[in-house]
Amino acid sequence: MNRREYLYRMAAVGLLPALSSWMPMENNLIRRRIPRTQESVTAIGVGTWETFDVDSSLTQELEPLREVLTLFASKGGNVIDTSPMYGFAERNVGNLSTEAGINSQLFIATKVWTSGKENGIAQMKDSLQKLKRNKIDLMQIHNLVDWKTHIKTLREWKEKGTIRYIGITHYRENAYPEMETIMKSEPIDFIQVNYNLVDRKAADRLLPLAAEKGLGVIVSQPFGYGRLFDRVKSKALPEWAAEFDCRSWAQFFLKYIISHPAVTCAIPGTGLPAHMLDNIQAAYGRLPDEATRERMVKVI
């Protein structure tokens, strides 16, 4: 039985509330400070790639997404990452969070993903409308697409107060040198990169540079596109995982990431309430030290 099947069955037999009871009091939730401002955000967020790309007219299919957002906010979570690239995701985040009365509680990060100044402006205005916002917390240049054009617009929008933070993203290692150049030369606030127990290349140069430059780091694909769950299929969680308050493989993977001192937030993507409750538990309790992190790598 894989993680999805297990948690589906837990929900089906009425044990989803039991998962919720894993969580200690909300004030114990691990939060991280954004280096530029010292504003704090939760160390575990929610990514929306694929999972929130559900036709906005399909009311029944939207209910799990609504529950993900409301449960996430009720546990103290606030970082939601999305993009125009993700189909209906922006619209669903905006509509569902507004209907639930939690839109203003969220730290919403989205992206500009097009070429040309005017196209970029039009796309970002569309994102503001879909997300039901007059201000975006973090606007990121998605996969560095036409970044030299968009970075000028983002600076202007930040000065006007339409966006609060500027970031860049990429998921391919061959883009890391260009990201380094931008991190060293441009006034950005965040980077978003892949980093997990099997994809650790970002820790060689990007994460130390982010710490040096005072940049926030959002980690995407924390489960390595699901490959991490494949590696531990049918394997028992090590008993010593309890030493850092870890109760599942998902928490094992996430605690490894957020225990890196340069990481601000990891954004596991999910459209299932049970998965979200499992994921956010990683932001409670103890985190592995460096020796334990090396041990975790050896397990994988």
Structural domains in the chain (count): 1
Q: Is 104 helix (H, G, I), strand (E, B) or coil?
A: helix
Output the domain CATH number for residue 55: 3.20.20.100
| 249 within some domain | no
Amino acid letter for position 196: N
> Which residues form the domain of 223?
41-227+263-283
- Number of other residues whose CB lies within 10 A of the CB of residue 182: 17
The residues, ordered by sequence, that sit 6+ positions from 8 with a Cβ below 8 Å of its Cβ are 272, 274
| 244 within some domain | no
Tell me how far CA of residue 171 lies from CA of 109, 176, 266, 267, in angstroms: 16, 9, 14, 14
| 291 within some domain | no
**Phi, psi of 208, rounded to the nearest 5 degrees:** -60, -40
| 253 within some domain | no
Pairing of strands 31-33, 40-42: antiparallel
Q: What is the pTM of this model?
A: 0.90
Q: DSSP letter at 187?
A: -
- Number of other residues whose CB lies within 10 A of the CB of residue 148: 10
Query: 55, 271 in Cβ contact below 8 A?
Result: no
Per-residue pLDDT of the chain in tens (300 residues, 90 and over written 9): 455 554 544 444 444 444 433 444 345 899 999 999 999 999 999 999 999 999 988 888 899 999 999 999 999 999 999 999 999 999 999 999 999 999 999 999 999 999 999 999 999 999 999 999 999 999 999 999 999 999 999 999 999 999 999 999 999 999 999 999 999 999 999 999 999 999 999 999 999 999 999 999 999 999 998 999 999 998 999 999 999 999 999 999 999 999 999 999 999 999 999 999 999 999 999 999 999 999 999 999
